[in-house]
Structure 1
């Protein structure tokens, strides 16, 4: 149970880290609007991202993006692609890598070039074993030339990053989405990488003040800045609570197992009355009998703990094989679980041991 909880924590940490190191995310709409079922208004524009890059000194790179979803086709083959109108900085800010070809450049943005960089799985669905570089794919009523294919990225929080199609943000805004903001090219959100992890709070404060000035905000913010570390801490608390719930479930099983050990030892005392009486008749003290049965209970439960640990570790690796969770279990956890198993035997073995130690040797031999 603890191994599954630790695997969930490792999985969540990996998902957050895959978003990019030291990244702030700026999302349209106030924090209150994010919790509402109505989609928040699109209040961020490309000029906001450019202002952040120019005026916030602790910022390393800024990557605005305009997202959408459309059907992409090539010679009768269709695939539902997650469109990302991006800039060249998206590659480094979000920790993506190009496997073949190239990514978009600043010149592509200036010229509104009709190019696309495909995710690895999207390229495979459309082209199979054919080399996609230089080919033309159809999107709505326009053709886009494939200039690159990305390295496999996997899924992040349920979104398959390998089904992405990266298009210059200007082309995305002008040819696919259309201008929907009177203040310029709208963006879905802005990713900001910070030079120093210690400057995350300062960067967040400066960005919030800058956007308030640009948007002339006097009351409620029309944007939300989310810190990657805060997100990791929040998700860590959730997975930590999950681990505690799983540990509590395991504790119930341990309690039931302890009662089973106590019952077995009580039956053992009854069946071994003659042995106890004989030992006490030849000089064994109550402490000797007490120690004998306590040691037996501890050995019994510790052996069960070792066997259960072996099965549990195998179960953790089995869960990791069939789910996205990683196989996370530490040697300390194994040592603690075996120790707890032995402690359960010690605790529940005391009552049968006391009962055996208090037997009268004459009565024990006579009853046998």
Structure 2
């Protein structure tokens, strides 16, 4: 009997037992769909992180107070950076374009009967250019506003809509810690960054933030949380990072461990990419387990089929079928089940990716490599797990089988 005839017989047998064939394929379907969907969603998360980092502004360098480990393990932000550090960086580092020191804190914001606890950032006018923000209405505060500690505020796009629906917020006043702040501008929508909605942020002059809202707690100057720095161009980032580190070590008289950390967009994006890639691999591996379970299901059902079809196998052997013919028929049945399950699982996985992309901010990608790998692995699993029941069927003694007729 040739392969084509074995294929026809295997197909006819599977079609005749539709329910059993469908249930056998279910594990393979779930496994393939899970692998394809998890890989696609993982790639979407990586792409989203990349887009968000690009939205921070071109060639941005971040100087944070304390080391990254200290910021992760301590509740309060280390107090190791001051405004004077930012001024020194701007004056003494030749490879940078602009510097924007920041003080960030969550505060209760009130307007009449509306209130919300949102992030307030005290900064300087350079923040707009360093972080690539644009003003939608009014203006951003100026260096004069900073020098004179003026009680002015610029709202993010979403918080402006939240507090002043269908109203012009310019000229109105919001209240923060018993201080009235006059709204002078509204920024264009920027979107979220790593879970932090930048459009719900409120911006005030750095001096107003330090002296009137959070208090100036450092004896060495105006304490800041972070310093955002724009390098002149992409080629200048590495040199700027080294120059900033050396300057701050001299200013802070550091001989051992640094009390600050300097990160570039590329550094942080690489860390995020490593995390998302690791999670993608982990999720795909977990999903792959269901493929293995599906393969075991194929083997179990095929073993049941061998016991149920003992008479058929004995009769075929009695009229001249060889062991190879029986072996091929059962192997082809197992492979068809796995391949069909892989095809259906691919459709389900791709559909899931499209739905996730439509209902979430992620932009999942359909990975051809993941599809080929999942379908190939499912077919290989079906073939591998079909070998044992196929051999059992091929070695069945026709005399014993015919006695049961």
Deviation larger for 95-104 or 118-127? 95-104
- 1:226 corresponding residue in structure 2: 263
Q: CA deviation at 1:249?
A: 1.7
In the other structure, the counterpart of 2:237 is 200
Is 1:266 aligned to residue 335 of structure 2? no
The CA distance in 2 between the partners of 1:240 and 1:64, in whole Å, is 32
Output the CA distance in 1 between the equivalents of 2:106 and 2:367: 42
**TM-score using structure 1 length:** 0.88
Structure 1 contact 74–127 (Cα < 8 Å) conserved: no
2:180 pairs with one of 139, 143, 146? 143
| Residue of structure 2 aligned with 1:167, choices 204, 213, 217 | 204
Distance in 2 (alpha carbons) for counterparts of 1:215 and 1:273: 85
Cα offset for 1:365?
A: 4.0
Helix, strand or coil at the partner of 1:297: helix
Q: Are 2:244 and 1:215 equivalent residues in the alignment?
A: no
1:51 aligns with 2:88: yes
Question: 1:195, CA displacement in angstroms?
Answer: 3.3
1:235-282: CA deviation from partner (whole Å, max 9, x where unpaired): 323222322322222232122211110111122223333433444445
- Partner deviation per Cα, 1:32-63 (whole Å, 9 max, x = no partner): 53344252442222222122123222223222
What displacement does 1:361 show? 4.2
Deviations 1:1-41 (A, max 9, x none): 33343344344444444443432211112455334425244
Alpha-carbon distance in structure 2 between the residues aligned to 1:345 and 1:303: 10
Return closer, same or farther for 1:300/1:227 CA change in 2, 3 Å cut-off: same
Q: Could you say which structure has the greater relative contact order, defined with CA pairs below 8 angstroms and 6 or more residues apart? A: 2
Please tell me whether residue 87 in structure 1 is matched to residue 124 in structure 2: yes
* Alpha-carbon separation, structure 2, partners of 1:21 and 1:8: 21
Distance in 2 between the 1:65 and 1:157 partners? 18
Inter-partner Cα distance in structure 2 for 1:54 and 1:202: 16
State the Cα deviation string for residues 264-318 of structure 1 (Å, max 9, x = none): 1122223333433444445443333322221211110111122223333344455
Q: Provide the alpha-carbon RMSD of the alignment.
A: 2.7
Partner Cα distance (2:134, 2:61) in 1? 20
What per-residue deviation string (whole Å, max 9, x for no partner) do you get for residues 193-222 of structure 1?
223434433322110101112223333322
Counterpart of 1:22?
Answer: 59
Instruction: Look up the match of 1:339.
Output: 376
Tell whether 2:156 aligns with 1:119.
yes
Where structure 1 has 5 or more consecutive residues not aligned to the other structure, the ranges are: none
Change (3 A) 1:212 1:341: same
Aligned to 1:312: 349
Go from structure 1 to structure 2 and tell me whether the alpha carbon gap of 1:216 and 1:268 turns closer, same or farther (over 3 Å shift).
Answer: same
Tell me if structure 2 keeps the 8 A contact 1:79–1:125.
no
Equivalent-residue separation in structure 2 for 1:300 and 1:38 (angstroms): 55
Q: Which moved more, 1:229-238 or 1:61-70?
A: 229-238
Instruction: Specify whether residues 323 and 310 from structure 1 end up closer, same or farther in structure 2 by C-alpha distance, changes over 3 A only.
Output: same
For residues 237 and 4 of structure 1, what CA distance do their matches in structure 2 show?
A: 15
Please give the alpha-carbon distance, in whole angstroms, between the structure 1 residues aligned to 2:233 and 2:166: 42
Change (3 A) 1:81 1:260: closer
2:128 and 2:324 map into 1 onto residues whose CA distance is 72
Tell me the equivalent position of 1:106.
143
Aligned residue pairs total 368
Structure 2 unaligned residues grouped into runs of 5+: 1-37
Q: Measure the CA separation in 1 of the matches of 2:272 and 2:393.
A: 52
| Number of the residue aligned with 2:284 | 247
Instruction: State the shift of 1:118 in Å.
Output: 0.5
Query: Bigger CA drift: 311-320 or 46-55?
Result: 311-320
